[in-house]
Amino acid sequence: MAVNKLALIRYKTIDDCLKNRYRKWTLEDLIEKVSATLYELEGITTGVSKRTIQADIQLMRSDKLGYNAPIVVNDKRFYAYEDPAFSITKAPINNADVDKMKEIVGVLKQFNAFNYFDEMSDMIARLENNLYKSTKQSGNNIQLESNKLVKGLECIPPLYQAVLNKRSLLIEYKSFKAQQSQQGIYYPYLLKEYRNRWFLICKAKKRPEILNLALDRIVEFQELPNETFVAYQGVDFDRYYDDLIGVTKNERDRAQKVILEFTNDHAPYVVTKPMHQSQVVLNKNEKTTIFRIDVVLNYELEREILGFGECVKVLLPRLLISKIKRRLAQTYKQYESVDEENFFIKTLRN
């Protein structure tokens, strides 16, 4: 049952009144007190009706919100709690609430497997203990995609704090192409995840453009309290990646019209799980369905298309067609000279 903010204020005010055993509360007293509270907290000047307060009391007495408040009327006039120690703030949650919270804990535990935030571990443990100490624990009914072997996840909490508090960083970084790691000063702006791999979106002190550093390639880092943080001007990071698949982009990149033709046996998968939020269906015939997405041309887009194999064909733009053809030709060339029989014989011998 949904409860709005004003209703919660009324219930809490009535509860505060009935907990006060040093005063007798008539219905008129409760109406006056609730009206005064609504005016103080919400600026409501119309007060509250007698019928509303009577309905509130009935609801608090019931199990609909899990309160089961023991509200009695003494001398046919004065409202009070039969149990002097009762309060709706102490009322146990009902079974439906417990079941819902179990589901939430199950999901939070899976997020916690990534060690996103250290303080979350303790919070989840305490919440789980309180929920399950009087009930039989069951397995999770929701499983999120995760890869606990991914490197760099332990960097997320301190990097998150650096982004949040706008702290400059000294980072030692080693890209896959570099033979040695290098140190530099960076200004962190955003943490971004793509396919279970995390990236720090930042700017190097000695370079003008936005960079993305893979967390699994960061050797070590530390905050530089004496280095002034430099905010990046002219970019709204909440929208900067809207026209993108993946994380690879610079400020000069603009979305292009990408036309893809899928075989109809695979098209339903693309319909139900769009490649991008801009995706639309342009045409459908007996054999194929044509889609359009408006995205930046980058490496991640090429990988996405190649992942569909023979089920997709790029129709536009020409630059993307050339890149996909070249990569497919290189792939074919790798298999062209493979002697499968000799390969497996050598493998077995080894």
- Give pLDDT tens digits for 2-56: 457 888 899 999 999 999 888 999 999 999 999 999 999 888 989 999 999 999 9
Q: Which residues pair with 330 in a beta bridge?
A: none
pLDDT in tens, 310-321: 999 999 999 999
Same domain, yes or no: 276 and 330: yes
pLDDT above 70 for 126: no
β-strand partners of 312: 262
> Are residue 269 and residue 316 in the same domain, yes or no?
yes
Last residue of a domain, one of 200, 223, 246: 223
Which domain CATH number covers 184? Answer: 2.30.30
287, pLDDT greater than 60 = yes
Q: What's the CATH code of the domain at 294? A: 3.30.70
321 & 282 share domain: yes
**Position 238 in a domain:** no
Is 309 a member of any domain? yes
Same domain, 47 and 112: no
Q: Which residues contact 281 (CB under 8 A, 6 or more apart)?
A: 271, 289, 290, 291
Q: What is the CATH number of the domain that holds 36?
A: 1.10.10
So what's the pLDDT on residue 234? 82
Confidence class of residue 250 from pLDDT cuts 50, 70 and 90?
Answer: confident
Residue 347 is predicted with a pLDDT of 62
Give a yes or no: residue 185 inside a domain: yes
Verify that 262 and 289 share a domain, yes or no: yes
CB 48 within 8 A of CB 34: yes
140 assigned to some structural domain = no
Residue 38 included in any domain: yes
Could you tell me the residue range of the domain that residue 319 belongs to?
A: 256-336
Query: To the nearest whole percent, how much of the chain has pLDDT over 70?
Result: 79
Q: Which pLDDT score, from 0 to 100, does residue 107 have? A: 63
Residue 332, in any domain of the structure? yes
Residues with Cβ < 8 Å from 89, sequence gap 6 or more? 12, 15
Express each pLDDT in 197-232 by its tens digit: 899 999 999 998 999 999 999 999 999 999 999 999
Distance of CA 137 to the CA centre of its chain: 25
Query: Is 264 in the same domain as 328?
Result: yes
Tell whether the model's pLDDT for residue 1 goes beyond 50.
no
Q: Which pLDDT belongs to residue 2? A: 47
The pLDDT mean for the chain works out to 85
**What is the per-residue pLDDT across 256-285, written as a single tens digit (0 to 9) for each?**
999 999 999 999 999 999 999 999 999 999
User: What is the rounded CA–CA span in Å between residue 188 and residue 229?
Assistant: 9
Q: Could you give the CA distance from residue 304 to residue 328 in angstroms, rounded to a whole number?
A: 13
Predicted structure pTM score: 0.62
Shared domain for 76 and 102, answered yes or no, is no
Q: Are residues 19 and 75 in the same domain?
A: yes
Q: How confident is the model at residue 112 (pLDDT cuts 50, 70, 90)?
A: low
Domains: count for the chain = 4
Helices 95-112 and 118-132: crossing angle in degrees, nearest 10, is 150
- Per DSSP, the three-state class of 133 is coil
Is 328 found in the same domain as 278?
A: yes
Cα–Cα distances in angstroms (integers) from residue 81 to residues 84, 86, 295, in the given order: 6, 7, 63
Tokens of 63: 């199990």
Six-digit token pair at 208? 């003008």
